[in-house]
């Protein structure tokens, strides 16, 4: 098999492949330097280097299998064009880059017409995952999966004895699920950041002391890679100044776009992924220093306002933990809802339980918690909303008072906690017996004759607002 694109992800994935019994890996990169460097640095891998697409194709046994790991976008299209030129029907091209799923749908359709198989595959785990075992989310045809399955199982992370790879669904399904994975990752990180901020401002503990809190949390139901690395980051002190590293890092969060894609896609699907959206927007807000400077003098509680209201720091920290767990359940529930809606829209058969299992190892959101999601879907594969599974109902019940108290404390003290509070608002919206959506329907009917349905009769209705205000049967113009 072969790998095209030998930057950090491609070269690590190639080394992972080469380390498996019986594999010989051909490698190719657009510019020669990366290939030379990889060969020099890792002679033990026994790579077969190619310096043209023709050489690359000739080095592969048929049916050929090549994994592309290049900068997503035009680079991917350029490499696909070249591979299609030198490959034959029956060969398999796998795109392991972070492609937008709609691009993958387009590419799969175009490549399929040549008789070559095209598989868009989500790869999670960063450079270490690529080397030691990533979580893999391949889409593409059933036929490709027959060939690819054993290869991918051999290089994927292992969680509780199972390789973290499943055939997610056809064409763009793998990249769709990877996109949602990244969206959930945004929400999870934002929630953790809000928890840290609340604890710091609420208790006055230092980052190193808060690192101990996170390390402790990592031994309980919140156990996850992100909680683990949060403790590591908070414990780090800056060599140059001796201050906590987190205090010398500029507080403007970057983004590579997959969170925004998740939200844009969810808007199109009509799925409320509010936790993910708040996380994306919170990064955007942080990255406008000019607006933040202009707003710095706006009225509101003082920076240390929360400290005075926290009389029992340990109890406060436990409340934050419960609020974090409840908000995290909401974020994951919303993410799985988006996958369910995407599957319905694009005709994919996605096993949500299998998705939660392949995220248990290798990837950034790996967590104990994913076992609970797997259990929920094992009990009820057609669960309409993950929140309603018995385990989550219990956890959300346990968190109620703390969750509300923390959101109220944040609001009162002027601490921004957009993901905590939007998760709670979503939760309350979902469980409400009646929503003010009825009023919105009334308003829409008033200004635009958009009609409404009644709770006590079938049909669609319109009130003659500018006439005698009687009600008439109407065509549904929703
Ligand atoms: N970094 C991560 O943690 C991570 C995790 C999961 C997925 N990914 C995805 O994995 C892929 C690779 O990521 P990366 O960080 O290793 O590399 P990258 O910086 O995204 O891309 C660099 C690679 O793309 C090649 N490339 C760019 N344009 C090209 C073109 N027009 N034709 C041929 N090759 C082209 C470069 O070749 P030259 O050397 O010739 O410039 C180089 O090999 C990306 O799609 C990324 O989004 C990354």
Residue 472: beta bridge partners? 462
Write the DSSP string, 400-424: HHHHHHHHHHHHHHT---HHHHHHH
Residue whose CA is at the smallest distance from ligand 1 atom 2:
126
The first and second tokens of residue 351, run together, are 């096993």
DSSP secondary structure letter of residue 218: T
How far apart are the C-alpha atoms of 202 and 301, rounded to whole Å? 13
Residue 308 has a pLDDT of: 66
pLDDT at 391: 96
Residues 6+ apart with CB under 8 A from 409: 198, 202, 306, 309, 310, 415
Please give the distance, rounded to the nearest whole angstrom, from the Cα atom of residue 69 to the centre of ligand 1. Answer: 6
Omega of the bond prior to 63 within 30 degrees of 0, cis?
yes
- Give the nearest ligand 1 atom to 9 CA: 16
Kindly state the tokens that stand for 344.
């319905």
pLDDT in tens, 240-287: 999 999 999 999 999 999 999 999 999 999 999 999 999 999 999 999
Residues 180 and 364: their CA atoms lie apart, in Å, by: 12
Question: What is the pLDDT at residue 477?
Answer: 66
Among protein residues, the one with the nearest Cα to ligand 1's atom 16 is 9
Judge if the beta carbon of residue 72 lies within 6 A of ligand 1.
yes
Which residues have CB under 8 Å from 50's CB, separation 6+? 2, 26, 27, 28, 35, 56, 58, 59
Instruction: Let me know the angle formed at the C-alpha of 408 by 402 and 412, rounded to the nearest 5 degrees.
Output: 140
**101 close to 109: Cβ distance less than 8 angstroms:** no
Best substitution site from 2, 3, 5 to test ligand 1's pocket, by max atoms within 8 Å of Cβ? 5
Phi, psi of 199 (to 5 degrees): -65, -40
Residue of 4, 14, 68, 71 to test ligand 1 pocket, by largest number of atoms within 8 Å of CB: 71
Structure tokens at 154: 């051999």
The pLDDT tens digits for 440-474 are: 999 999 999 999 999 999 999 999 999 999 999 99
Determine the Cα angle at 167 with ends 269 and 148, to 5°: 140
Report CA(135)–ligand 1 centroid distance (Å). Answer: 18
Centre of ligand 1 from the C-alpha of residue 256, in Å: 13
The torsion angles phi and psi of 62, rounded to 5 degrees, stand at -95, 150
| Residue-level pLDDT at 355 | 98
Closest-CA residue, ligand 1 atom 28, reads 75
d(CA 276, CA 185): 8
pLDDT for 307 equals: 66
Q: With a cut of 70, say whether residue 4 has pLDDT above it.
A: yes
Would you say 317 and 199 are in contact if contact means Cβ atoms under 8 Å apart?
Answer: yes
Helix extents (H) in 204-224: 207-217
Our answer on whether the CB atom of 294 is closer than 6 Å to any ligand 1 atom is no
Report how far apart, in Å, the C-alpha atoms of 188 and of each of 182, 317, 449 are.
Answer: 10, 18, 41
The best mutation among 68, 70, 131 to test binding of ligand 1, ranked by most ligand atoms within 8 Å of the C-beta, falls on: 70
Percent of the chain beyond pLDDT 70?
A: 99
Considering only CA atoms, which of 216, 473, 115, 184 is closest in space to residue 335?
A: 184
């Amino acid at each position: 098999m072969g790998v095209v694109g030998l930057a950090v992800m491609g070269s690590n994935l190639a080394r992972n492949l080469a380390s498996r019994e019986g594999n010989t890996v051909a490698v190719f990169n657009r510019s020669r330097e990366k290939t030379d460097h990889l060969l020099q640095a890792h002679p033990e891998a026994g790579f077969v280097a190619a310096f043209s697409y023709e050489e690359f194709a000739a080095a592969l046994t048929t049916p050929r299998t090549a994994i592309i790991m290049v900068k997503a976008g035009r680079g991917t299209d350029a490499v696909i064009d070249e591979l299609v030129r030198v490959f034959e029907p029956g060969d398999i091209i796998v795109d392991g880059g972070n492609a937008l799923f709609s691009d993958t749908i387009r590419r799969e359709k175009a490549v399929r017409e040549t008789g070559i198989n095209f598989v868009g595959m989500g790869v999670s785990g960063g450079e270490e995952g690529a080397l030691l075992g990533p979580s893999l989310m391949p889409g593409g045809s059933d036929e490709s999966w027959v060939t690819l399955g054993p290869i991918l199982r051999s290089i994927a992370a292992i969680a509780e004895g199972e390789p973290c790879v499943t055939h997610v669904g056809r064409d763009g399904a793998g990249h769709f699920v990877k996109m949602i994975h990244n969206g959930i990752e945004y929400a999870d990180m934002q929630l953790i950041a809000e928890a840290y901020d609340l604890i710091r401002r609420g208790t006055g503990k230092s980052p190193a002391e808060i690192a101990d809190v996170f390390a402790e949390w990592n031994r309980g139901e919140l156990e996850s890679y992100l909680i683990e690395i949060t403790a590591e980051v908070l414990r780090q002190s800056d060599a140059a100044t001796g201050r906590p590293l987190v205090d010398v890092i500029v507080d403007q969060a970057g983004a590579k776009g997959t969170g925004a894609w998740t939200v844009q896609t969810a808007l199109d699907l009509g799925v409320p992924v509010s936790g993910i959206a708040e996380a994306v927007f919170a990064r955007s807000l942080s990255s406008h220093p000019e607006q933040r400077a202009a707003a710095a003098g706006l009225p509101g509680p003082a920076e240390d306002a929360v400290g005075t209201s926290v009389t029992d720091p340990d109890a406060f920290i436990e409340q934050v933990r419960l609020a974090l767990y409840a908000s995290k359940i909401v974020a994951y529930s919303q993410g799985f809802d988006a996958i369910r809606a995407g599957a319905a829209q694009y005709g994919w058969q996605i096993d949500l339980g299998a998705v939660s299992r392949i995220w248990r190892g290798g990837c950034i959101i790996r967590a104990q918690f994913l076992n609970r999601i797997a259990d929920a879907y094992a009990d009820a594969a057609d669960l309409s909303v993950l929140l309603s599974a018995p385990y989550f109902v219990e956890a959300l019940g346990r968190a109620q008072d703390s969750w509300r108290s923390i959101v109220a404390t944040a609001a009162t003290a002027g601490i921004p906690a957009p993901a905590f509070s939007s998760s709670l608002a979503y939760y309350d919206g979902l469980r409400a017996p009646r929503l003010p959506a009825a009023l919105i329907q009334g308003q829409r009917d008033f200004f635009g004759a958009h009609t409404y349905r009644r709770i006590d009769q079938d049909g669609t209705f319109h009130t003659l607002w500018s006439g005698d205000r009687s009600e008439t049967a109407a065509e549904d113009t929703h």
